[in-house]
């Protein structure tokens, strides 16, 4: 079969979004709108807001719009709960033609009434979708009235799809969380020796791994944003004395705001890979200025590293020299992945993100080898072109990239919603190596 001929040059406008390390000096263009008529792998504002807020387990997540936006996001996040399962149901106002013509406010109010009667939830998130932004429903007013009527919190999420890309959705979600955290009487709970863990969505139970590590160090997680979180825990977010951020793409803004408004300092950490996990634990102990926590962290690091050393070594021996391509959502995850691959002997030859920020792209450029291709908001043709050109054996990506890699006869691991094993901490590092091994070294590739 003939491969599709890649038009050369690809869309002229896309040139600034791609660079090869060592070749060009100019800044990579990113965080801009996608070019119309391209196969963008990107999603919308609503998507960004939904993925951040959806793991709040005991909230009613009501999507105000036609059915699609709610259908496509029904329980796709894979974030685990230790309590309520309400977040795994799909609630939509299912706007029809009449609602679009006459307005959807009444239906929205009715939907909230009916749901609140059914479920004893204290919190409702109402997501705005494209159409709501255009027909001009007053979400604020409906939510305010419903909150008063039911004496619970009904928070509008301003996530009409067209107002930006996924990053704008992260921001809309953070704004909704800030509204939730804000105390109406200005009174704040007193600080405790605990931290908020920002940007972990408890995929495959990752929050729980980190929670145990910190507990061993004598530090509690106050609340995770937003993996396995609940109304009550989020309400008490300001009790924490430190915010640590895993997924910076979605949570950097919230961390800044929490510092500005409530004086909670923040730091970036990463629990992906052995190196980053160890240094993150040490830095947290330092931040608390607590020698005892530091001592316990060292103990933990020594013990856990020893436990996984042989396993990682076993995988490294088998994976050494392979080449990986990375295409993930945020820039920070991409940075961690480069290091994590290095730990198992794999070089990254192509790396891209959907929503990376300029400073993250700079960090990536510093980390990777000469000749590595770096690209923002890539489309499948570009991914294909560079993966093939650079001789990648493996792609890390999300749902839409998986079959593309497979068709090229290339191994794949999901570092997104579909991950099935936790990839955080020491156990996660082994899982990661095992996943890479099981896809790279599967016999199926011999039959293509």
Partner 1 sequence: MLDCTPKEIKARSGGVINPAKTCQPIGAMYAALGIHSCMPHSHGSQGCCSYHRMHLTRHFRDPVVATTSSFTEGASVFGGVSNLKTSIKNVFEVYNPDVMAVHTTCLSETIGDDLPSIIKSTEIPEGKLVIHANTPSYQGSHITGFSNMTKGMVNYLSTATTEVKKEQVNIIPGFVNPGDMREIKRMMQLMGIKYIMFPDTSGVVDSPITGQYTMFGRGGTRVEDIRDTGNSKLTLALGGYASGDPAIQLERKCKVPAVAIKTPLGVKATDEFLLALRQAFAAEVPYELEEERGQLVDIMVDTHYHFHGKKVAIFGDPDILIALTEFVLSLGMQPLYVLTGTPAGTIGGPVGTFEKEVKSMLEQAGVDGKVKAAGDLFELHQWIKNGPVDLLMGNTYGKYIARAEDIPFVRVGFPILDRSVQPYLPIVGYKGAMRLLEMISNALLDRADRDAADEDFELVM
Enumerate residues 54-113 that contact partner 1 by CB under 8 A.
62, 65-74, 85-86, 88-97, 99-100, 107-113
Contact region for partner 1 (CB under 8 A) — 159-167, 196-204, 337-345, 362-370? Answer: 159-167
CB of 201 to partner 1, least distance (A): 17
Q: How far apart are CA 163 and CA 267, in angstroms?
A: 29
Contact region for partner 1 (CB under 8 A) — 40-48, 200-208, 305-313, 338-346? Answer: 40-48
When asked if residue 389 is in the footprint of partner 1 (CB under 8 A), the reply is: no
> Do residues 349 and 334 make contact, with C-beta atoms less than 8 angstroms apart?
no
When asked if residue 3 is in the footprint of partner 1 (CB under 8 A), the reply is: yes
Of 412 and 426, nearer to partner 1 (C-beta) is: 412
Write out the binding residues for partner 1, residues 214-273 only, by CB under 8 A. none
Number of amino acids touching partner 1 (CB under 8 A): 84
Pick from 284, 289, 194: which is nearest to 237 by CA?
194
Burial 1-18, CB ≥16 within 10 A → b, else e: eeeeeeeeebeeebeebb
Task: Write out the E strands in 217-257.
Answer: 220-226, 242-245
Write out the binding residues for partner 1, residues 117-156 only, by CB under 8 A. 117-119, 129-131, 133-135
Write out the binding residues for partner 1, residues 398-417 only, by CB under 8 A. 399-400, 402-404, 406-409
When asked if residue 448 is in the footprint of partner 1 (CB under 8 A), the reply is: yes
Q: Which of 304, 384, 414, 435 binds partner 1 (CB under 8 A)?
A: 384
When asked if residue 314 is in the footprint of partner 1 (CB under 8 A), the reply is: no
List C-alpha distances in Å: 274 to 318, 341, 344. Answer: 18, 11, 10
Pick from 357, 330, 362, 336: which is nearest to 348 by CA?
336
CB of 114 to partner 1, least distance (A): 5
Write out the binding residues for partner 1, residues 178-197 only, by CB under 8 A. none
Q: How far apart are CA 423 and CA 214, in angstroms?
A: 17
CB of 4 to partner 1, least distance (A): 4
Of 382 and 435, nearer to partner 1 (C-beta) is: 382
Pick from 192, 189, 153, 132: which is nearest to 56 by CA?
153
Instruction: Provide the phi-psi class of 262: left if phi over 0, else alpha when psi is between -120 and 50, else beta.
Output: alpha
**Is residue 79 classed as helix, strand or coil in its secondary structure?**
strand
Of 66 and 249, nearer to partner 1 (C-beta) is: 66
């Amino acid at each position: 079969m003939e491969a599709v001929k890649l038009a050369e040059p690809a869309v002229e406008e896309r040139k600034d979004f791609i660079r090869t390390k060592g070749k060009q000096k100019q800044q990579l263009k990113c965080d801009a709108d996608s070019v119309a008529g391209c196969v963008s792998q990107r999603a919308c504002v609503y998507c960004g807001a939904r993925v951040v807020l959806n793991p709040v387990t005991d909230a009613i997540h009501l999507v105000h719009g036609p059915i699609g936006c709610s259908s496509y996001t029904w329980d796709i996040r894979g974030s685990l709960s230790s309590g309520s399962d309400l977040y795994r149901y799909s609630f939509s106002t299912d706007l029809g033609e009449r609602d679009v013509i006459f307005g959807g406010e009444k239906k929205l109010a009715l939907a909230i009434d009916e749901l609140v009667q059914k479920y004893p939830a204290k919190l409702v998130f109402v997501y705005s979708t494209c159409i709501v932004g255009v027909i001009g429903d007053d979400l604020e007013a409906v939510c305010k009235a419903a909150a008063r009527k039911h004496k619970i919190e009904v928070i509008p999420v301003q996530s009409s799809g067209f107002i930006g890309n996924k990053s704008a959705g992260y921001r809309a979600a953070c704004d909704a969380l800030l509204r939730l955290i804000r105390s109406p009487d200005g009174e704040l709970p007193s600080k405790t020796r605990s931290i908020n863990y920002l940007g972990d969505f408890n995929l495959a139970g990752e929050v729980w791994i980190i929670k145990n590590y910190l507990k061993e160090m004598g530090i509690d997680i106050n609340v995770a944003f937003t993996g396995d979180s609940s109304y009550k825990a989020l309400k008490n977010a300001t009790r924490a004395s430190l915010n640590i951020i895993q997924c910076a793409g979605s949570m950097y803004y919230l961390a800044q705001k929490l510092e500005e408004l409530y004086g909670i300092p923040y730091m970036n950490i990463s629990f992906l890979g052995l190196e980053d996990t160890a240094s993150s634990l040490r830095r947290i102990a330092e931040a608390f200025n607590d020698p005892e926590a530091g001592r316990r962290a060292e103990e933990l690091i020594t013990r856990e590293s020893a436990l996984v050393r042989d396993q990682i070594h076993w995988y490294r021996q088998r994976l050494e020299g392979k080449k990986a391509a990375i295409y993930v959502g945020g820039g920070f995850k991409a940075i961690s992945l480069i290091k994590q691959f290095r730990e198992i002997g794999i070089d990254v030859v192509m790396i891209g993100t959907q929503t990376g920020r300029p400073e993250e792209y700079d960090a990536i450029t510093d980390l990777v080898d000469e000749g590595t291709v770096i690209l923002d908001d890539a489309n499948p043709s570009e991914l294909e072109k560079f993966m093939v050109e650079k001789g990648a054996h493996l792609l890390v990506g999300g749902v839409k990239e998986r079959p593309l890699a497979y068709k090229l006869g290339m191994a794949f691991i999901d570092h997104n919603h579909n991950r099935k094993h936790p990839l955080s901490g020491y156990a996660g590092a082994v899982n990661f190596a095992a996943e890479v091994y099981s896809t790279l070294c599967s016999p199926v590739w011999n039959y293509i």
